[in-house]
Structure 1
Amino acid sequence: MTAPARPADPLISIVVPVLNEAEAVPVFLAALTDALPAARLEIVFVDDGSTDATPAVLEAALAADPRCVVVTLSRNFGKEAALTAGLAAATGDVVVPMDVDLQDPPAVIPLLLAKWREGYDVAYGLREDRGTDSFLKRQSALWFYRIFNKTSDLPIPENTGDFRLMDRRVVDALNLLPERVRFMKGLFAWVGFRAVPVPYARAPRRAGRTKFNARRLWRLALDGFTCFSSMPLRIWSYVGAAVAGAAIVYAAVIVAKTLLLGRDVPGYASLMTVVLLLGGIQLITLGVIGEYLGRLFVEVKGRPVYVVDTVRRGVPAEGDGVPRP
């Protein structure tokens, strides 16, 4: 592979969505500095409507570290929207979205950068070891990726999150995508470009508590399926055809028994079973259609993905090379 010309000393934008992470921010900054002591960094924090001391902690980081950029959203819009806002604010030659909890170690970034220097446009972190996650989380993630990749026309790499390094042109392509319901893992795959996995072991959370409970993970999974697959709609057509076929066969059996035996088949219980079964299938089908219709409703309204309250950038030291407007 012939590597395209790349800057010898690229500006690396680290995009970090945060929500009530006052404890984690200082730990994250220290770990990032230790892992990349000589790199040119732009650290873009996106405050997604924090209600604890996170704004004050970010304000202190902004005053102390000229590499920091703080994008404050007007309210909580969700992680996917916050990540979208961070990508729009990042100005680096390469961009690395990552979580503030340090489960994706900053020490992996030089490995991602090395792949970029080889000519790859995207180097994504592959969670080779997820021993720090609970059994339930590992299994649910496993089944999500398997079902998603079986039903979607655009498969995504398994055991891969948002943690990756992307060339500037990849980020520019992502920033052009207009949809309001965002499933970033799918969008990362949709834009294409040359990509390569970089295996790593996921570390335990260093500070704070996770904001992704089971309900939010379920909603994220639904967004993924409805944004990148129409199979949930098609499958109920198949179910309906199968039930209709079975009903025709059953009706033929009833007619044959009546003609041959001269009596109807008594069956209040069987009748109620069929009615309830068909009613349940219809309600499930309506629910699936409703999920797609709800997302279509959001897209048609055309509201922005997020609303920015303020964007504040640290004051650069003389000659640090970090661009500022």
Structure 2
Amino acid sequence: MSHTLLSLVVPFYNEQESIGSFFPRVAAVLEQLEGVDFEIVCVNDGSRDGTYPALIAAARADSRIRVIDLTRNFGKEAALTAGLDEARGDIVIPFDADLQDPPEVIPQLIAKWREGFDVVMARRVDRMSDTLMKRMSALLFYRVHNKLADVKIPENVGDFRLMSRDVIDALRLLPESRRFMKGLFAWVGYRHSTIEYTREARSAGQTSFSAWKLWNFALEGLTSFSTAPLRIWFYLGSTIALLSFGFACEIIIKTLIKGVAVPGYASLLVSILFMGGVQLIGIGIIGEYVGRIYTESKRRPVYLIRSRFQSEATTASPAHE
């Protein structure tokens, strides 16, 4: 009987506390899949705790675990890209080490894939394990992004999804250095379906995503797939110019015809400060896009790999580059 190879791609960054519970729970689910062999591709994204030694120990004990060690912390999007590039599977599932996305959902993803779908997304229907601020900010991000961007991102769908080999090969063709993976997953298209699940609390440790990082992540997503902020600023500038012209006409009429004195310095100061703020915001938005052009023009690699490791049961020694 021909078996399908499943690659579970898991970025790790300072997840030492989660590793002890991660592999037993995930392996217990994957071992029950009929007609499916699996590998777990672990990407150590420059962890500064004991994550890497713990991953090596797990890989020594189980040849189905592969460890990809990046030279430094490149960020989750780069680590996820590295894992997708390294995955050998016929089907690939990005997964988080914190177990907030329960591995027990994986059989449902595979069942949908067997119906003929290339992408099976997992949508969170209950996010009560997240803080209120995180839930509200996520809702706001999806609404704003999908209003402004040409590529729509399904609400409450994260990286957790199943993708066929054709989808992975298509993603590997995309050349950009600054990668917003949720947008890229949506951009490539393919026939897709969705299953629903309840998001759980972290198994251990603390999230590395602060409010500031989440804000920058949202800004990255918006500028990656939309030029609407630039267009909005054109319309805002046009509106302010028209209002200013109307106000100037009103002052001329009051002064020349009605003899009303010109308002004092307070209104002038407010106008100058307002316009200065508007101009600075506009320059900042332009700067975001110029910064993306600057970064992409360098053509630096998305990540660098220090070493690869898989136990001797499969490979004689780790490969280095």
Common topology (TM > 0.5): yes
Aligned mates of 2:209, 2:312 — CA distance in 1? 33
Choose 237-246 or 205-214, whichever is displaced more. Answer: 205-214
The 5-angstrom pairing of residues 257-272 of structure 1 reads 257-272=254-269
Are residues 1:226 and 2:223 paired?
A: yes
Q: Which residue of 2 aligns with 1:82?
A: 79
Aligned mates of 1:186, 1:28 — CA distance in 2? 27
Are residues 1:26 and 2:20 paired?
A: yes
Aligned mates of 2:31, 2:68 — CA distance in 1? 24
Q: Which residue of 1 aligns with 2:286?
A: 289
Aligned mates of 2:313, 2:89 — CA distance in 1? 15
Select the residue among 235, 241, 251 that pairs with 1:254: 251
CA contact (8 A) 2:6 2:92 kept: yes
**1:316 CA displacement:** 4.0
Aligned mates of 2:148, 2:182 — CA distance in 1? 15
Q: Which residue of 1 aligns with 2:47?
A: 50
**1:209 CA displacement:** 1.5
Are residues 1:215 and 2:212 paired?
A: yes
Select the residue among 105, 112, 119 that pairs with 2:116: 119
Q: Which residue of 2 aligns with 1:239?
A: 236
Q: Which one-letter code corresponds to 1:169 in the other structure?
A: D
Aligned mates of 2:260, 2:56 — CA distance in 1? 84
CA contact (8 A) 1:67 1:316 kept: no
Q: Secondary structure at the match of 1:71?
A: strand
- Which 5+ residue runs of structure 2 have no aligned equivalent? none
Q: What percent identity do the matched residue pairs reach?
A: 53
**1:260 CA displacement:** 1.1
Are residues 1:192 and 2:192 paired?
A: no
Q: Which one-letter code corresponds to 2:172 in the other structure?
A: N
Select the residue among 3, 7, 13 that pairs with 1:13: 7
Q: Which residue of 2 aligns with 1:321?
A: none
CA contact (8 A) 2:100 2:201 kept: yes
Aligned mates of 2:141, 2:260 — CA distance in 1? 51
Q: Which residue of 1 aligns with 2:65?
A: 68
**1:184 CA displacement:** 0.3
**1:59 CA displacement:** 0.9
Aligned mates of 2:58, 2:264 — CA distance in 1? 74
Select the residue among 172, 179, 202 that pairs with 1:182: 179
Q: Which one-letter code corresponds to 1:285 in the other structure?
A: G
CA contact (8 A) 2:60 2:310 kept: no
Aligned mates of 1:305, 1:316 — CA distance in 2? 31
Aligned mates of 1:211, 1:33 — CA distance in 2? 25
| CA deviation profile, 1:186-208 (whole Å, cap 9, x unmatched) | 00000000111110000111122
Q: Which residue of 1 aligns with 2:31?
A: 37
Q: Which one-letter code corresponds to 1:296 in the other structure?
A: I
Choose 142-151 or 306-315, whichever is displaced more. Answer: 306-315
Aligned mates of 1:189, 1:315 — CA distance in 2? 38
CA contact (8 A) 1:80 1:184 kept: yes
Q: Which residue of 2 aligns with 1:312?
A: 309
**1:8 CA displacement:** 5.3
**1:9 CA displacement:** 2.5
Q: Secondary structure at the match of 1:189?
A: helix
CA contact (8 A) 2:56 2:309 kept: no
TM-score (norm 1): 0.94
Select the residue among 90, 95, 98 that pairs with 1:98: 95
The 5-angstrom pairing of residues 126-205 of structure 1 reads 126-205=123-202
TM-score (norm 2): 0.95
Pair 1:238–1:294, CA change in 2 (3 A)? same
**1:317 CA displacement:** 6.5
**1:264 CA displacement:** 3.8
CA contact (8 A) 2:70 2:306 kept: yes
Q: Secondary structure at the match of 1:69?
A: strand
